[in-house]
């Protein structure tokens, strides 16, 4: 499941995984944990070579229970810190660095392979259907109007400014879509869902129906 921030990916992916008894992986959380490490160690996130030189160091572990996904960095729970404004502002530059993507790709593929042996997994991100697992049984690309996405994100973050949230989202979208390695694209063969008019429950129902129709 791919798409820009605020498209409803995380809530949908977790809801679908829970309904279908599958595991769940939030790859954005892994890029965010990598970013927390860089910020903590004083690495300039705009210095591609510096970020690349450290990309192998952080130990990032994702728990794949859709009801209680976890993320640790060097053994520490960083679930809150990965959502901080500083992390959010720095994550897209870090995610453009090929060495970062290669490192996380390895982790992501190992997690997916292990979960497939046990029934399956819903994975969300920006490059899942295009790069991480092009042979996925079901590929979805979720989007929504920028205004709707910003309103959802602002509500989640308890922020009052939908406009500044929308500016942040569009800035991040531009970096994610414009990068050379694994940009945000609609993957070949993906079903494109515009979630703007739907409630979360309606989106989950639709996605579950799509998954069931392929089985």
Site of interaction with ligand C5P (CB under 6 A) = 5, 27-28, 31-32, 91-92, 95, 125-127, 172, 176
Task: Name which of 21 and 71 has its Cβ closer to ligand C5P.
Answer: 71
Using DSSP, state whether 171 is helix, strand or coil.
helix
Task: Name which of 12 and 92 has its Cβ closer to ligand C5P.
Answer: 92
What is the closest distance, in whole angstroms, from the C-beta atom of residue 119 to ligand C5P in the complex? 22
Beta bridge partners, 123, equal 25
Of 191, 189, 192, the residue nearest 134 (C-alpha): 189
Task: Name which of 22 and 31 has its Cβ closer to ligand C5P.
Answer: 31
What is the closest distance, in whole angstroms, from the C-beta atom of residue 124 to ligand C5P in the complex? 7
3-state helix, strand, coil in the chain (%, to 5): 55, 15, 35
What is the closest distance, in whole angstroms, from the C-beta atom of residue 91 to ligand C5P in the complex? 4
* CA dist 86 → 37, 69, 81, 92, 144 (Å): 12, 22, 9, 12, 25
Task: Name which of 133 and 211 has its Cβ closer to ligand C5P.
Answer: 133
């Amino acid at each position: 499941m791919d798409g820009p921030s605020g498209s409803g990916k995380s809530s949908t992916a977790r809801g679908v995984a829970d309904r279908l008894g599958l595991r769940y992986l939030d790859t954005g959380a892994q890029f965010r944990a990598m970013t927390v490490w860089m910020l903590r160690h004083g690495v300039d996130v705009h210095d591609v070579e510096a970020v690349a030189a450290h990309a192998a160091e952080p130990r990032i572990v994702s728990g794949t229970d859709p009801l209680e996904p976890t993320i640790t960095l060097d053994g520490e729970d960083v679930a809150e810190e990965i959502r901080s404004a500083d992390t959010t502002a720095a994550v897209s530059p870090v995610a453009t660095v090929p060495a970062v993507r290669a490192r996380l790709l390895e982790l992501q593929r190992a997690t997916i392979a292990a979960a497939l042996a046990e029934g399956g997994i819903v994975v969300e991100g920006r490059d899942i259907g295009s790069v991480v697992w092009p042979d996925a049984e079901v590929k979805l690309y979720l989007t929504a109007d920028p205004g709707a996405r910003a309103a959802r994100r602002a509500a989640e973050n308890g922020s009052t400014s939908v406009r500044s949230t929308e500016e942040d989202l569009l800035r991040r979208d531009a970096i994610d879509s414009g990068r050379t390695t694994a940009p945000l694209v609609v993957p070949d063969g993906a079903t494109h869902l515009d979630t703007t008019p739907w409630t979360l429950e309606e989106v989950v129902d639709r996605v579950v129906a799509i998954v069931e129709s392929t089985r």
